[in-house]
Amino acid sequence: MPRDSRTIPLPYADRFAAVAATMPGQNLPWLRDLRAQAIERVRQSGLPTIRNERWKYTNLNALAAAAFEPAAPEASSESPGPLPPLLGGCRVMFVDGLYRADLSAGSLPRGVTLTSQAALLRENPARARALFADHDAGADSLGALNLAFARDGYIIEIAGGANVEEPIELLHLTTPGTTAAAYHTRNAIIVQTGSSAAVIETFLHDAATVYWAQPVTEIRVGPGATLRHYKDQNEGAKAFHTATTDVRVAEKGRYENFVLTTGAVLSRNEIAVILDGRGASCRLDSAYLARGRQHADNTTSIIHAKPQTTSAEVYKGVLDDQARGVFQGRIVVEKDAQKADGHQLNKTILLSDRAEIDTKPELEIFADDVKCSHGAAAGELDEDALFYLRARGIGQADARRMLVEAFVGETLENISNLAVRAAFERRIGAWMSTGGEPA
């Protein structure tokens, strides 16, 4: 039978039937229907192939072929292993895609509430229903897959007027030894009028087991509110990580995002921001470091829907061995978004002649009084700079590390939370000093 070359069948979707009865909230008819519709959509449409423009550079064949199993419905009794030191005063733990109050530490700052998705479905299904209705992430097949399979996730709310300086840390781990499990979390961060907060999400795994992490996160930044959202993607070397973040920013609100990517054999970090009120702004930055045969895809979309909205974006990559990077950056300025200001830059250093970067800026401008720019560059480390450092006695490896850190450091300066910035600097230094193929 001829198959549509724009889709890849995903056998994993058929595993839904076996776990449906164990899904939280499956007793709620509206949710049962939503999930049934979602899984049907995945069965019909499969995963996108590279014939699909949005997936032109990222091939999901290996992901579709891996025989994933839905994550266990109950929390593992095994320890997730040693934990990294706390970044701030509180940590919210997720293990195997499930919220673990027992492993979380510290108390949330004043004005911050956190509810797990499973608890919300149990305790306040009406509110859960409203959140599901508000989030149309089921539109594409990965979104639909998450809608069907997500067992848990977090809903973080920052109360109006609260100013939370200390970063709220979310740590996502998987139990060592579990093989070929898929973890789907469904999350929301709601920042109310005039408040501000910082959230750092860390995805961490040391062991070389195959798994798939698929977080879907919906973010609402209220009028005059600010969210600083950081992500450290340090997944295991054989992991798949496909993340989707949808952000809507209200009048004079601000969203800042920084993603540090070093992990996973295949990762796709997709962020879509709608600047939906006059004077709303965002900044998206990233450092992606890959070696071996890693594939790191960053796909962003920023829609300037209202006047005087501003966006800035700097994505910087360092690729070694046969690693491949992808940057797709779309900026849309809608007809009414006069005086919009959008700037995008993607720069990559290729440390090996077999490394590859595919970069695709897309600007769609429908207003006439706007300032928009984009730029992309890829090249080797500057040989003149390398020789200059070595001619002063600095060894070749150290000189290369200094130049890479300097290159990436320019984006780190955009991280306004200093504790997070320092942690990311250490991570980048550690990445440079490990070298070689990931385990």
Partner 1 sequence: MGMLEIKNLHVTVDGKPILKGLDLRVGAGEVHAIMGPNGSGKSTLAYVLAGREGYEVTDGAVLYEGRNLLDLAPEERAREGIFLAFQYPVEIPGVGSNSFLKAAVNAVRKHRGLPEYDAMEFLKLIREKRDQIGVGEDMLKRSLNVGFSGGEKKRAEVLQMTLLEPRLAILDETDSGLDIDALKVVAKGVNALRSPERAMLMITHYQRLLDYVVPDFVHVLSDGRIAASGGKELALTLEKEGYISHRRPAAEPAAPRA
- Of 341 and 398, the one with the shorter C-beta distance to partner 1 is 398
Are the C-beta atoms of residues 238 and 195 closer than 8 Å to each other? Answer: no
**What is the nearest approach in angstroms of partner 1 to the Cβ of residue 342?**
24
Name beta bridge partners: 202.
171, 232
**What is the nearest approach in angstroms of partner 1 to the Cβ of residue 386?**
9
Are the C-beta atoms of residues 295 and 323 closer than 8 Å to each other? Answer: yes
- Of 398 and 437, the one with the shorter C-beta distance to partner 1 is 398
- Of 114 and 260, the one with the shorter C-beta distance to partner 1 is 260
- Of 395 and 435, the one with the shorter C-beta distance to partner 1 is 395
Judged by the rule CB under 8 A, the positions of this chain that interact with partner 1 are: 382-385, 387-396, 398-399, 402-403, 405-407, 409-410
b/e map 203-229, b = 16+ CB within 10 Å: bbbebebbbbbbbbbbbbbbbbbbbbb
User: Whose CA is closest to 12, among 69, 71, 73, 59?
Assistant: 69
Q: Is 393 exposed, middle or buried (0-12, 13-18, 19+ CB in 10 A)?
A: exposed
All residues at 6 or more sequence positions from 141 whose CB lies less than 8 Å from its CB, including other chains:
7, 10, 41, 42, 45, 46, 47, 48
- Of 54 and 421, the one with the shorter C-beta distance to partner 1 is 421
- Of 29 and 393, the one with the shorter C-beta distance to partner 1 is 393
**What is the nearest approach in angstroms of partner 1 to the Cβ of residue 314?**
13
- Of 17 and 418, the one with the shorter C-beta distance to partner 1 is 418
All residues at 6 or more sequence positions from 344 whose CB lies less than 8 Å from its CB, including other chains:
311, 312, 313, 314, 329, 331, 361, 373, 374, 375
**What is the nearest approach in angstroms of partner 1 to the Cβ of residue 312?**
18
**Diameter over CA atoms, the chain:** 71
- Of 113 and 396, the one with the shorter C-beta distance to partner 1 is 396
Are the C-beta atoms of residues 231 and 167 closer than 8 Å to each other? Answer: no
Q: Amino acid letter at 42?
A: V
**What is the nearest approach in angstroms of partner 1 to the Cβ of residue 315?**
16
**What is the nearest approach in angstroms of partner 1 to the Cβ of residue 258?**
17
- Of 98 and 399, the one with the shorter C-beta distance to partner 1 is 399
- Of 36 and 406, the one with the shorter C-beta distance to partner 1 is 406
**What is the nearest approach in angstroms of partner 1 to the Cβ of residue 271?**
25
**What is the nearest approach in angstroms of partner 1 to the Cβ of residue 216?**
35
- Residue 432 has phi, psi (to 5 degrees) of -65, -35
- The label of the residue with tokens 């997500």 reads 150
Residue 411 burial (CB count, 10 A) = 20
**What is the nearest approach in angstroms of partner 1 to the Cβ of residue 437?**
25
Helices 383-390, 396-412: crossing angle, 10 deg rounding:
120
What three-state secondary structure class fits 384?
helix
All residues at 6 or more sequence positions from 373 whose CB lies less than 8 Å from its CB, including other chains:
342, 343, 344
All residues at 6 or more sequence positions from 28 whose CB lies less than 8 Å from its CB, including other chains:
121, 125, 129
**What is the nearest approach in angstroms of partner 1 to the Cβ of residue 406?**
3
**What is the nearest approach in angstroms of partner 1 to the Cβ of residue 396?**
7
Tokens linked to 404: 């890479």
Q: How far apart are CA 308 and CA 245, in angstroms?
A: 23
- Of 90 and 404, the one with the shorter C-beta distance to partner 1 is 404
Q: How far apart are CA 388 and CA 407, in angstroms?
A: 16
Q: Amino acid letter at 93?
A: M
